[in-house]
A and B are shown apart, each in its own frame.
Chain A
Amino acid sequence: MCDVCRWTYQGRSAVCPCSAMGVSPVWDGTLSPDGFNASAAALIKRWKEIEVDDSLPDWTWKPCCKLGVPSEEEGYLALEGVYHSCEGSQVEESNDFDGADVVADDTWVQSSSDAAHVYDFHVVYSYSYKVPVLYFQAHLAGGQLLTLDEIKQDLPSNSFKVLSDSKWTFITREEHPHLSRPWFTLHPCATSDWMKLLLEQTKEQSLQYLPAWLSVVGQAVGLKIPPELHCNS
């Protein structure tokens, strides 16, 4: 049995995952770039298999482009077009406006969903902290970006608690490393510390890393992560 990650040989792979991740004997809660890629691929696959909320689309892998050529290795995870409480908005909108104003002489119907809030989440690997970092932004369906105050109103009350209680999740505005535009981000400075606590007892830390990480970060930004994502593979 491996002393570090308590991995035992179970007839699958002969290599202990922590050594496969290339970590030092005492695991420090970080993730290697390869570990990030592997975990991301596993997350995308797993997400498709499990039952998730209707409002959540699929995660996709976006390769980074260098000089217009997509990179083979480097990329980030994206969950784009998440509607915030889309169930309600459509009804209200339709009531207020000409939601389904059917006009006899001509033949088109407009549904106005301009007021709906759409969230985009990106998970980017940080080479300096060696952990994943969550970048996100929210816009009205028409394109106008929301301010942090507007976003805060969308967050469930318990995310407020998470945000205010813990020192490690504060939202700042920073340049998205691959888009060169400012996005909101949860600061990654303490990520490795709590990830260490979270996954110390776990096998296959590398593959389990992103699901476990998401389950925590998701709470802070109101992203519903089904528990099945990281229960078992």
Chain B
Amino acid sequence: MAGFPRPLQVLAIQSCAEEGFWDALRRLKLDVLGTDDSPVPITGYYTPRQNPKVASLLRLCPESLVPPSASDNSIGSRNNCPVPGTLINTNNMRGFQNLDRELLLRAEAKKILHDIMSGKVEENPALLIRFLVISFADLKNWKVYYNVAFPSLVFNSKMTLLSLQYASQVLSKEEAASLYRSLQEWRTCSETTVVPFFLISISSDLSVSVRQLKDWKACQGSCQKLLFGFYDHGCQVIRSLGRGNAKLDFPGWALRNYIAFLSMRWKIENVQFFCYREHRGQPDLEQSYIGEASFPPPYGCDDPDYVPEAIGWEGEKPGKGTKEMKPKEINLQSMNPASQDEEKQLMHLKLMGWRHFPVNIDKLSRVRVLLLGAGALGCEVARLLMTWGVRKLTVVDNGYVATPDLIKQSLYTDNDCGVPRATAIVPHLKERCPAVEVEGIQMEIPMPGHPVSLSKVATMLDDCKRLQTLVASSDAVFLLIDGWESRWLPTLLCANENKIAITAVLGYDSYLVMRHGAGLGTRSGGMNEMTAQIEKLSTEDALGCQRLGCCFCNDTASVINPIPNGILDQQCAIPGLTSIASGKAVELFARMLHHPDEIHAPGDIAGTDTEHQLGILPHQLRGSLPKCVLSTELGNSSSNCTACSNAVLSEYRRRGLDFVIEAINNPTYLKDLTGISDLKKLDACPKMPASIPVNSDKFSDVRCLLLGAGTLGCDVARILMDFGVRKLTMVDSGRVVVSNLARQSLYTSDDRDTPKATAILRHLQEMCPSVDAQGIQMEIPMPGHPVSPSEAAGVLEDCKRLKELIASHDAVFLLTDTRESRWLPTLLCTDENKCLFALQIAITAALGYDSYLVMRHGAGPDINCEGSDVVASTDKLSTKDALGRQRLGCYFCNDVVAPVDSVSNRTLDQQCTVTRPGLASIASGHAADLFTRMLHHPDGIHAPGEIAGTNGEHLLGLLPHQIRGSLSQYNLLTLLGYSSSNCTSCSNAVLSEYRRRGMDFVMQVINEPTYLEDLTGLTDLMKSAAYAQVEWLDETDEDELVTI
């Protein structure tokens, strides 16, 4: 080692960020921080060297994230001296990479300088070893990328080491013994042991005392010699030289800032320092250094705006100018045990709170929901309720699973045939969410006007009582039973008990979803008061608002036995309707639960403003698929209602079950009671169309290609099968993970880690053995995601495979979750002139995360020439299709930016594509419906786009180009857009280039992010737009869409 004086060299400190720290950060991020990425104060734990061979580390542990004010010294201990630090956790990889590390380091260094100059360090010396952590916690993939810095000030004057010797060599025996005792004392006192910087005063009588920095003034003069001690983390390092190894020892990192402090604050130019190290918990004077360093006070630092130079990024090679720094990477997969499955299933709900509104997960998990009916609606609603985090379900049903129902009733499989639905549904819900408590009860719901024989009266009475207790013990009731009359008793009970009740009714192609109004005030106390209260029953609820109606209020007819006139038969509803209606019903429920007035909330009408975060809370929703309309209605409780009117309720309260039995046995009783005289039949009961214009052959022959087997993929596949489609091909590259189970309707916990393409196949076959399905595990090549030469062959292979797949199928559904992955399929479909449906759920600032877009792409351009004459034909590409109509637009037609890598700068909630539960069901329902209508349209893909309100001549109804809907505002729009000449995937420029160059062109697009924009002239368009500042620049936001 070189002689003295020499430049001071110190040993850098390293960090140890325990897995528990990252776990705590994960929770904090999910539960508290959300998208907020501003700096967080944290605490690191420092300790003097313990082991002669190992330098100690600065520890980051779960307690590091506890706000320092809450716990002061209580969390510090002997070997855990709290040190203040700052954590900057970015929302995405790009943000992490873009952080200006140099600037951040200097900003932290400036804080240290400020603390030195202001004297704060004297009070809290740990400020000298302040540190900085920058990270990106990729919670979706359980990985963290991070860097740690320990800023050390660098000035225009240098620190010089004048001497360095072991304490045992410098001190006399008496001094050493006295120092040893004083240090032991310092380290045993809980107040001082956490203070890493201290003074050692050696008086003339060789007695040594250890004191706090703030006592410096008092120490002066009273002692002969003053040493500045600090906890030294370092140890000997072994350095390989030419011929052998040399043991080198350096003072620890903390010394540099310590000297800076002593020189600048106390003007001590020559510092006598003491590097304190321990061995097995005792002072190790054999290896603790005493040394001297000189540091002339730097100049120019007094300016308050002065930002000092600094060094200190961990892992950076010292002294090589600005440098590349590799992020440290930590894999948290091992902390991801099965016991946290429940937490992962709720993650999407927590993520909703990041941008939209805080979901009351607690309330949802506590609420007990009673589902009456476990058929098609029952299955969907039960599943969606679990997605919302509802964990207590009771299912009542009287039916059995039958083979023809399997396709419609999404939860059952082949093995369940013949089993009561109430029994069969339980394991299927559990395998999607193990934490759910579900009880299945097989029971008939008594119906008014259906007289029972005397022998059965006892059973029926039991059923009534049972239903009474069930309703009383539940918080919300869903009425999903087929028969209209069977809704009467539950409606009455709910009105009486003041429970949330939601009804979903399906017609052939229309549906009604409504919530029942609150009951009559609150019923209190014992029987004596009851009679008195009945007199006071009013048309107002407990909040004094007009009561909302129930599903019987709008009917002037009594509920009496309408069976001969045709019951509401779910069997004849259009497939997809179930998904849409149950999505809306569950949404209504969740919204009601989050409304401050809950059941008493007044009914909103679409188009009105609401302050409620979840959007409007209507009373009734009516929708029709063929007309593509959705309306919200409001109806107050009717005084003649057979289920919730005062007359009925007071009679029920007075006579109890006797009243119920009379209503059941005496068909005219309810009518007489409520004063309905005329016997008009139910109008709400939809009539079956005279002829069902469904061509089942067409369905069974059509070959559908589904790109993406996630939430949308599962739902669309199911509904298509329900329509009779039997040839399905699914493409997906992912595997099933726990958090998928709640949302992706087909997967169960047995599928964990199986490729989705394989898993979905099994489930589709379980539901319908005759389906001819294929699953292909493949990544869809994406533009703007450059590939390395080694991967290029594989990507090219994928492109070709996709081309073959598209060529061999009749219809393609785009159900992937990134915008750019839709580009290649769109191009190929336009080229092949295939039906293409893009389906997506939009999450943008403008639209919220609760709207969806379903569109069919337009036909490809008209070609009159033979394929051999490609060059000639490309010149003739026109904006008209084969039928001479203007081409409809594709997914990319409205965009002014080419698809590029949109993944790396997304925040976690965007990556996980957080949407409202139920949205996917609704969107899938509309997509499948659009598909069938197009299939039956005489012009097929060339059919012109229609707008709601115009008269569609087609039997099946309106065939729009795009359907856009918003869940929170309950609106549904039909839009029409023509193919744009600047479109990046269906314009003639792109198409002709593709036809000319084939896969070479595709590869160039994938590798060059700006190529598409240049080709289509978007670059120029953008430039002119930038000058003109056109409004529609905002609109592009809308199309930066993210899907499930």
Q: How far is the CB of A195 from chain B (nearest CB, A)?
A: 29
Confirm or deny: B51 has a beta carbon within 8 angstroms of a beta carbon on chain A.
yes
B337 touches A173 (CB 8 A): yes
Task: Tell me the complex Cα distance, A181–B339, Å.
Answer: 10
By beta carbon, the residue of chain B nearest A51 is: B280
Q: Which residues of B in the span 234-290 have a Cβ within 8 Å of any Cβ on A?
A: 235, 237-240, 245, 248, 250, 253, 256, 280-281
Task: Tell me the complex Cα distance, A173–B337, Å.
Answer: 9
What chain B residues lie within 8 Å of A154 (beta carbons)?
none
Q: Which residues of A in the span 127-153 have a Cβ within 8 Å of any Cβ on B?
A: 139, 141-145, 147
What chain B residues lie within 8 Å of A139 (beta carbons)?
16, 18-19
B331 touches A144 (CB 8 A): yes
Task: Tell me the complex Cα distance, A58–B51, Å.
Answer: 11
Task: Tell me the complex Cα distance, A81–B55, Å.
Answer: 11
Confirm or deny: B318 has a beta carbon within 8 angstroms of a beta carbon on chain A.
yes
What chain B residues lie within 8 Å of A189 (beta carbons)?
none
Confirm or deny: A111 has a beta carbon within 8 angstroms of a beta carbon on chain B.
yes
By beta carbon, the residue of chain A nearest B144 is: A143
Task: Tell me the complex Cα distance, A111–B49, Å.
Answer: 14
Encode A88-128 as 1/0 by CB contact (under 8 A) with B: 00110011001111111111111111101010000000000
What chain B residues lie within 8 Å of A108 (beta carbons)?
9-12, 152, 253, 256, 311, 318-319
What chain A residues lie within 8 Å of B158 (beta carbons)?
107
Confirm or deny: A2 has a beta carbon within 8 angstroms of a beta carbon on chain B.
no
Confirm or deny: A87 has a beta carbon within 8 angstroms of a beta carbon on chain B.
yes
A109-B318 CB under 8 A given contacts A86-B54, A91-B245, A145-B334:
yes
A100 touches B18 (CB 8 A): no
Confirm or deny: B330 has a beta carbon within 8 angstroms of a beta carbon on chain A.
yes
By beta carbon, the residue of chain A nearest B55 is: A111
Confirm or deny: B7 has a beta carbon within 8 angstroms of a beta carbon on chain A.
yes
What chain B residues lie within 8 Å of A102 (beta carbons)?
9, 239
A90-B53 CB under 8 A given contacts A95-B240, A99-B238:
yes
Q: How far is the CB of B25 from chain A (nearest CB, A)?
A: 12
A99-B239 CB under 8 A given contacts A113-B14, A139-B18, A142-B17:
yes
A54 touches B53 (CB 8 A): yes
Encode B97-139 as 1/0 by CB contact (under 8 A) with A: 0000000000000000000000000000000000000000000
A109-B53 CB under 8 A given contacts A100-B237, A102-B9, A182-B337:
no
Confirm or deny: B663 has a beta carbon within 8 angstroms of a beta carbon on chain A.
no
Q: How far is the CB of B8 from chain A (nearest CB, A)?
A: 6
Cβ contact of B14, chosen from A87, A99, A114, cutoff 8 A: A114
What chain B residues lie within 8 Å of A113 (beta carbons)?
14, 54-55
By beta carbon, the residue of chain A nearest B279 is: A54
Confirm or deny: B20 has a beta carbon within 8 angstroms of a beta carbon on chain A.
yes
A57-B50 CB under 8 A given contacts A101-B318, A143-B18, A182-B334:
yes
Cβ contact of A81, chosen from B17, B50, B152, B253, cutoff 8 A: B50
B8 touches A107 (CB 8 A): yes
Confirm or deny: B173 has a beta carbon within 8 angstroms of a beta carbon on chain A.
no
By beta carbon, the residue of chain B nearest A114 is: B14
B237 touches A109 (CB 8 A): yes
Task: Tell me the complex Cα distance, A83–B902, Å.
Answer: 44
A107 touches B159 (CB 8 A): yes
Task: Tell me the complex Cα distance, A54–B201, Å.
Answer: 31
A107 touches B9 (CB 8 A): yes
What chain B residues lie within 8 Å of A104 (beta carbons)?
7, 319
A48 touches B17 (CB 8 A): no
What chain A residues lie within 8 Å of B14 (beta carbons)?
111-114, 141-142
A181 touches B318 (CB 8 A): no
B335 touches A181 (CB 8 A): yes
What chain B residues lie within 8 Å of A57 (beta carbons)?
50-51, 280-281
What chain A residues lie within 8 Å of B91 (beta carbons)?
none
How many chain A residues sit at the interface, stated as a range, is 35 or more
What chain B residues lie within 8 Å of A228 (beta carbons)?
none
Confirm or deny: B328 has a beta carbon within 8 angstroms of a beta carbon on chain A.
yes
Q: How far is the CB of B310 from chain A (nearest CB, A)?
A: 11
By beta carbon, the residue of chain A nearest B320 is: A103
B51 touches A83 (CB 8 A): yes
B319 touches A103 (CB 8 A): yes
What chain B residues lie within 8 Å of A114 (beta carbons)?
14
Confirm or deny: A179 has a beta carbon within 8 angstroms of a beta carbon on chain B.
yes
Confirm or deny: A158 has a beta carbon within 8 angstroms of a beta carbon on chain B.
no
Task: Tell me the complex Cα distance, A175–B245, Å.
Answer: 44
B240 touches A94 (CB 8 A): yes
B319 touches A83 (CB 8 A): no
Which of B152, B248, B256, B329 has the most C-beta atoms of chain A within 10 angstroms of its own C-beta? Answer: B248
B337 touches A55 (CB 8 A): no
Task: Tell me the complex Cα distance, A31–B62, Å.
Answer: 31
A181-B54 CB under 8 A given contacts A91-B238, A99-B238, A142-B14:
no
What chain B residues lie within 8 Å of A87 (beta carbons)?
53
Encode B596-635 as 1/0 by CB contact (under 8 A) with A: 0000000000000000000000000000000000000000
Q: How far is the CB of A176 from chain B (nearest CB, A)?
A: 10
B334 touches A107 (CB 8 A): no
What chain B residues lie within 8 Å of A98 (beta carbons)?
317-318
B330 touches A142 (CB 8 A): yes
A103-B318 CB under 8 A given contacts A94-B239, A108-B10, A142-B17:
yes
Q: How far is the CB of B102 from chain A (nearest CB, A)?
A: 15
A147-B238 CB under 8 A given contacts A58-B281, A109-B9, A116-B54:
no
Q: How far is the CB of A51 from chain B (nearest CB, A)?
A: 10
What chain B residues lie within 8 Å of A173 (beta carbons)?
337
Q: How far is the CB of B153 from chain A (nearest CB, A)?
A: 12
Task: Tell me the complex Cα distance, A26–B682, Å.
Answer: 81
A105 touches B240 (CB 8 A): no
Q: How far is the CB of A188 from chain B (nearest CB, A)?
A: 19
What chain B residues lie within 8 Å of A95 (beta carbons)?
240
B317 touches A181 (CB 8 A): no
Cβ contact of B318, chosen from A81, A110, A118, cutoff 8 A: A110
Cβ contact of A94, chosen from B237, B335, B339, cutoff 8 A: B237
Confirm or deny: B68 has a beta carbon within 8 angstroms of a beta carbon on chain A.
no
What chain A residues lie within 8 Å of B317 (beta carbons)?
98, 101, 110
Task: Tell me the complex Cα distance, A104–B700, Å.
Answer: 79
Confirm or deny: B57 has a beta carbon within 8 angstroms of a beta carbon on chain A.
yes
A143-B10 CB under 8 A given contacts A58-B280, A91-B238, A103-B318:
no
Task: Tell me the complex Cα distance, A179–B50, Å.
Answer: 25
B20 touches A100 (CB 8 A): no
15 A-B residue pairs with Cβ-Cβ distance under 8 Å, sorted by A, are A58-B280, A99-B240, A107-B8, A108-B9, A108-B11, A108-B319, A109-B11, A109-B248, A110-B12, A111-B235, A116-B54, A139-B16, A143-B18, A143-B330, A182-B334
Q: 4 more A-B contacts (CB under 8 A) besides A109-B11, A139-B18, A147-B334?
A: A48-B281, A102-B239, A118-B16, A181-B335
The 3 closest A-B pairs by CB, nearest first: A100-B239, A103-B319, A106-B319
